[in-house]
Structure 1
Amino acid sequence: MKKWLAVLLVVTLMMSILVGCAKPATNEEPAGGEAEAGDKPFRVAYIARAQADSFAAWLANAVSEEADKYDNIVIDVLDGQASDSTQNALIENAITNKYDAIIIQPNNGEAQRPYAEKAVAAGIITITTNARIDGIQGASSVDADPYEQAKVNAVVALEQIPQGANVVVLKGPPGNFHADARRESWEKEFFAKRPDVKIVGEEIANWNKDEAMNYMETWVQANSKIDAIIAMNDNMAAGALEVVKDDSRFDGILSYGVDGTAEAVLLIQEGLMTSTSLQSAYDLAAALLDTANKLLTGVETQIDIDIDCPLINSDNVEQYIEMHKKAGAIR
């Protein structure tokens, strides 16, 4: 009798374990993105365009810091190294490794499109950012409006750039949504309205400071008069300014960018850069993690949002320097 009782107890214990293991999972999550004790956090791959790009590095760091606020999310930051093939391989690896979500900051949206579509097809939450890839069914996006980013500069440049000016233009990579839309905005909002302005140099510098410096060195050798640098991001504007900072022929040269990086706001404070449009990596990171959390927990199934793009110039630069100081980017 005792033997049968012991067997019955063992069977009962095993049944209770099996029932416990078979308990259905729940998507419910405590407020504030905190994971229940024992739950595995969601795994998110953030694929950066290039850590050598000052804005991409700023955004990647901001994403990492923002992720620390979420107990239910663990994020891996991966460097695309400004290479389509590298980024595409990273996306494929993230799919193979079954991440719960993939956030892509494309190097070239059209080159990454089929790989982002693969991620969606694999049932992985996919978010594109800076710049979004439009038209991917089932993907979400967090971005800013690049046309407006350039427009806020172009509108003030109409009055600032002198009559008969010589200008140089530094562009981002072709096929990149932000690069193309910002250049289109300058064309419609400035050059079409100022036919007196002559472009004496225009090149693709791929958001890169060193490439911008190389082009600017060539342009200053060929032109004794350059009145303005029109760059599609701060990194390229800063590179061009580096070339002419000690050349008296270019004292007072105007310079425009986009991003509002720590370097750019310091250049504006010094009177070396004219203006930039803020593309806050802090705001993007906050929106990205909030979006990822809502999608991962099933609160929403599709999210497409843009952040604001205020103009930064000498009138308001101190508040943006303070913003960077609070974040530790300026000491």
Structure 2
Amino acid sequence: MKRFLVVFLLVCLAGFQLFAGGQKQEDDGVYKVAYIARAQADSFAAWLANSVVEEAEKYPDVEVKVFDGQASDDKVNSLIENAIVNQFDAIIIQPNNGESQRPYAEKVVDAGIICITTNARISGIAGASSVDADPFEQAAVQARTALKQVPKGANVVVLNGPPGNFHADARRESWENEFFAKRPDVTIVGEQIANWNKDEAMSLMEDWVQANDRIDAIISMNDNMAAGALEIVKDNSKFSNILSYGVDGTAEAVLLIKDGLMTSTTLQSAYALAENLLSVSHKLLTGQEEQLDVDIDCPMVNKDNVDQYIEMHKRAGAL
């Protein structure tokens, strides 16, 4: 009986050690971070996701896994729930629609998991952190410039991001306050939601070109939609002098500016966002900080300085 008890205890001890060793091996001293992108088909979202993965290589104790939300609230929310179930140490959420993702981000916090929202942040979640830029100022940089550049009595078209998205709504509000309210002579001959999507913008621009003999400017809430609209008119001599404004400073946009096809954009550097996302994540994971909110700068990119941003993308391997 005593011998059986000793053997039983040894087996239990071995099992405990095996379990403990398995946990240690599974964790391996590495923090698991889930990065949930709103849509990899979106050029900026893809740029940001890739930058996050590259930046994570500088942190040997951090492992990032990227998940594609496919521009669907249901998909993004499902991915957040799965990341909670799989007990990631931190979950970074790039919302498709901030208010739709809010209750799921709150679930992350309630589960005791580090929650960071980015591009765009979901504000007002107790215990959550964020890394973002000021979308009102991003658009204002363009709108203030457009005040002087858009001709008197101009016809313009406006391409909006998804409704309810913090960046989409704030950028449109900025254009209203900083440009349209000050230029009552300007007529909006077309305005639609294109969901940050190049193909949707192309389709809308095709309709607007057919309906209007003159369009003087494309006012877009991001570069991807602006690039789509420009694709439609690039070989049409009637629109050879069209102005075009965006936000993001993507590799495609800086080349369009260099070629004289796009007027300007505001840099929303995915590299800077990624750098801050990993820095914030690491500080939170290691207990150096409990909560952080960080904003990056939003400089103008135009024909006068575009070469430095082309070089930026070349150094990062994007061009």
Identity %: 74
Residue number in structure 2 paired with 1:51: 40
> Number of aligned pairs?
303
Q: 2:163 aligns with which of 143, 168, 174?
A: 174
Residue number in structure 2 paired with 1:267: 256
2-structure distance, mates of 1:140, 1:58: 21
TM-score (norm 2): 0.92
SS in 1 for 2:261: coil
Read off the aligned partner of 1:202 and give its amino acid letter. Answer: E
Q: CA deviation at 1:40?
A: 2.2
Q: CA deviation at 1:114?
A: 0.3
Residue number in structure 1 paired with 2:96: 107
Read off the aligned partner of 2:216 and give its amino acid letter. Answer: D
2-structure distance, mates of 1:153, 1:194: 14
SS in 1 for 2:153: coil
Read off the aligned partner of 1:215 and give its amino acid letter. Answer: L
Residue number in structure 1 paired with 2:3: none
Corresponding position: 1:60 with 2:54: no
Residue number in structure 1 paired with 2:176: 187
- Report runs of 4+ in structure 1 exceeding 3 Å deviation: none
Residue number in structure 2 paired with 1:28: none
Residue number in structure 2 paired with 1:30: none
TM-score (norm 1): 0.89
Matches within 5 A, 1:226-237: 226-237=215-226
SS in 2 for 1:192: helix
Residue number in structure 2 paired with 1:131: 120
Q: CA deviation at 1:253?
A: 0.2
2-structure distance, mates of 1:252, 1:58: 29
1-structure distance, mates of 2:35, 2:221: 24
Corresponding position: 1:76 with 2:65: yes
Q: CA deviation at 1:39?
A: 4.1
1-structure distance, mates of 2:45, 2:126: 25
Q: CA deviation at 1:198?
A: 0.2
Post-superposition CA distance 1:74-96 (Å, at most 9, x none): 01000000000000000000000
Structure of greater Rg: 1
Matches within 5 A, 1:20-35: none
Q: 2:296 aligns with which of 307, 318, 324?
A: 307
SS in 2 for 1:182: helix
Post-superposition CA distance 1:271-313 (Å, at most 9, x none): 0000000000000000000000000000000100100000000
Post-superposition CA distance 1:38-93 (Å, at most 9, x none): 94200000000100000000000000000011011001000000000000000000
Residue number in structure 1 paired with 2:309: 320
Residue number in structure 2 paired with 1:34: none
1-structure distance, mates of 2:162, 2:281: 27
SS in 1 for 2:182: coil
Residue number in structure 2 paired with 1:292: 281
Post-superposition CA distance 1:104-153 (Å, at most 9, x none): 00000000000000010000000000000010010000000000000000
2-structure distance, mates of 1:40, 1:134: 31
In structure 1, runs of 5+ residues without a counterpart are 1-6, 26-37
Read off the aligned partner of 1:181 and give its amino acid letter. Answer: A
SS in 1 for 2:91: strand
Q: 1:254 aligns with which of 230, 243, 260?
A: 243
Corresponding position: 1:120 with 2:109: yes
Corresponding position: 1:158 with 2:154: no
Corresponding position: 1:244 with 2:236: no
2-structure distance, mates of 1:251, 1:268: 14
Structural RMSD (CA): 1.8
In structure 2, runs of 5+ residues without a counterpart are 1-5
Corresponding position: 1:40 with 2:21: no
Residue number in structure 2 paired with 1:33: none
2-structure distance, mates of 1:84, 1:144: 22
Residue number in structure 1 paired with 2:203: 214
Read off the aligned partner of 2:294 and give its amino acid letter. Answer: I
